[in-house]
Chain A
Amino acid sequence: MTPEFTEREQAFRGEARDWLRANSPGRLASMDTPAGAAAHREWERTLAAGRWSVVAWPAEYGGRDATLTEWVLFEEEYYTCGAPTRIAQNGISLLAPVIFEHGTAEQRQRYLPSMADGTDVWAQAWSEPEAGSDLAGIRSRADRDDERGGWILNGQKTWSSRAAVADHGFGLFRTDPAAERHRGLTYFLFPLATPGITVRPIVQLDGDPGFAEIFFDDVFVPDAGVVGDPGAGWKIAMSTAGNERGLSLRSPGRFCAAADRLIALWRERGAEAPHLRDRVVDAWIRAQAYRLYTWETVAKVEQGWSVGAHGSVNKLFWSELDVDLHETALELLGVDQELRGGWVDDYLFALAGPIYAGTNQIQRNIVAERILGLPR
């Protein structure tokens, strides 16, 4: 079904559609290669110049004060027209909400405009070799340096997406080893060029260095690089975990566009593989369900509902849909399914979904305990 939109919303959607069609360069080289990263940054600059890079932000930071409804409309148009993946995504979706909510005025001024126009790309530095699903097991630490007015970071982060090409990182470090493990963590922002930081790119399944290890060896970060209060890092970080799992990282436009491409592929190839009919239909149904679920969520959020643990329901659904949809497309390609190119590349990207932002095992625990109320 098509939701009902106000005139303002329809005008917004029309303007976004026209601009995107006129300006989108289409698919670019992988953002995890040097040339691809440069092209993606250029696209972020173009988006920002048109004031389309951060539509939901306030106008003073380059946004359009878009409502949640308008943001989802923008995303639908964005993916429908096949615009590039967003190299600025992790900063815009995961860090910016934290800076808006918990940051100082100075931090907002310093970091948000350069994030909005792609000048500064941000990488999330959360996971560690011994702190994956059990994120509160973070060992990397920050020790107080009163003399210089800041903190000394030591330790190692890993699986940090975009770190190989990014300018800044944001992450959690243990500042109070004596405190209960969720309470002794602090949220830091730091330039990756800071002395003592070493970034070692890690090649992903697709052959590109999409994430990296980050080593910290006596890295000084001034107090201006701390978000919120020292010791409040976990609580602050969990407010971005909701963003990561819920609406903001995976808008429905993405899956509807992929489902439409799958239907187009079925038109071409379906006669040779009639046994795939049910899987094609089901992928389309699930994309449609995701779209309607999102609009229902938008309606509820606009009435004051909080997504909370339902972000985990959402993440389970889209991450599995993404893999299944692409596997169905690959089957339709027959013997050509092993060849690199659009569907295989997107499939390799989709395979990460059930792992990042909290593995799907962890999401199932969250759904069972916090939504169904099963005993811990």
Chain B
Amino acid sequence: MKAWTKEQAAFAETLDALLSSAGPVAAARSWALGAPDPGLALWRALADVGVQALCVPERLGGLDAGPVEAAIAFEKLGYHGVPGPWIESVVVAPALLDGTSEETLLTEVAAGEALVSFAAPPMTPRAVDAAGARAFFLSEGGALHRGVTGPLVASVDPSRRLFEVNPGEQIATVAEDRVARALDGAALGCAAVLLGAGERLLATSVDYVGERRQFGRPVGQFQAVKHLLADVRVALDFARPLVLGAAHELAAASFDAGRDVSAAKVACADAAHLAARTALQVHGAIAYTLECDVSLWLLKVRALMAAWGTAGFHRDRLIRALI
């Protein structure tokens, strides 16, 4: 396996530079309160560097890139805590809408003009941000329906505005392998967001324990703190190759792609969870407040652990693939 190419590394740097100065934390807080304007400005800024076009075919105005580039983008979106239906618009929409009567929507997605969301029960029974989306859909079995909005339900992550969805008009029948590929793409995107969130929680924790002083020294000098954070470094370092590996398998449409996506989702969820629990622990009470920005990632990680396949679902799929 090869690491990122130069172009991929440059793409990651571009996203970091853009997001570091674009105020994603304020956007996420505002998004959670139902005021999406700062988040929508971010949405358009990210479209300018091509994020939403990554998986859209060229003939519809997309870049026809693939899962590797998408994974890079999702890790950065997770790191910076950007709100919105990213997985649904960037990955699921192109995978399910291409070739249907709704495919022109993908041109608007690629241009950053439309947010699209999906529910896909039983794995993903609710659609995130359905109310603010240009369109949202319900994918169940092989049937793709327009969605009809049900009530807003509260997620543990306030920036994930979840809606119950009822089936409306059926717009297409989608082949089983294509649905599977869409769900794998979403699960892998979710794994990458978790990886990025975990990295952010670790970075923030390292900064904090270097500054916070007790007993006359930075608390980061204590081995009890060092060892907790070292374990997070290890967990994240060994989750990342699973994401890149699964992205290559998915790009090649290989037989093992589903298995490897599940491995990536399980490992990233575990690593991000460890990062979250550790971040809360080494920050102490301050991170137990909503005012502290760490809370954004703590709650996001908890919500995404269940999104696009719980650990139980993915471990079950893995063991069945292995025996």
Chain A interface (Cβ within 8 Å of chain B)?
A: 1, 3-4, 263, 266-267, 270, 277-278, 280-282, 284-286, 288-290, 292-293, 295-296, 299-300, 303, 310, 313, 316-317, 361, 363-365, 367-369, 371-376
Contact = CB atoms under 8 A, between A and B. Distances in A.
Nearest to A289: B238
A323 to B, nearest CB: 14
Interface in B248-307: 248-249, 254, 256, 260, 263, 266-267
Categorize the interface residue count of chain B: 35 or more
B141 interface: no
A277 B229 contact: no
A296 B234 contact: no
Contact of A263 (B1, B238, B254, B323): B323
B281 to A, nearest CB: 15
Contacts of A313: 233-234, 237
Contact of B3 (A282, A290, A300, A310): A300
Given A285-B266, A285-B267, A293-B238, A367 B233 contact: yes
Contacts of B239: 289
A173 to B, nearest CB: 30
A67 B226 CA distance: 36
A300 B9 CA distance: 13
B206 A372 contact: yes
14 contacts: A1-B249, A277-B316, A280-B319, A284-B318, A289-B242, A289-B267, A292-B1, A293-B238, A310-B237, A313-B233, A317-B238, A364-B231, A368-B230, A373-B210
B306 to A, nearest CB: 16
Contacts of A267: 323
A267 B225 CA distance: 41
B223 interface: yes
Contacts of B220: 368, 374-375
Contact of A278 (B223, B229, B234, B315): B315
The secondary structure that dominates the A interface is helix
B263 A285 contact: yes
B168 interface: no
Contact of B241 (A270, A281, A296, A303): A296
Interface centre among B223, B226, B244, B254 (most CB of A within 10 A): B226
A374 B206 contact: yes
A316 B241 contact: no
Contact of B1 (A3, A270, A361, A369): A3
Contact of A288 (B206, B225, B237, B242): B242
A292 B237 contact: no
A372 B230 contact: yes
Given A266-B322, A365-B227, A374-B226, 11 more contacts: A1-B256, A281-B322, A282-B315, A284-B263, A292-B1, A363-B230, A368-B220, A368-B229, A372-B229, A373-B210, A375-B221
Given A285-B318, A368-B229, A293 B237 contact: yes
Nearest to B254: A1
Given A281-B318, A376-B221, A299 B229 contact: no
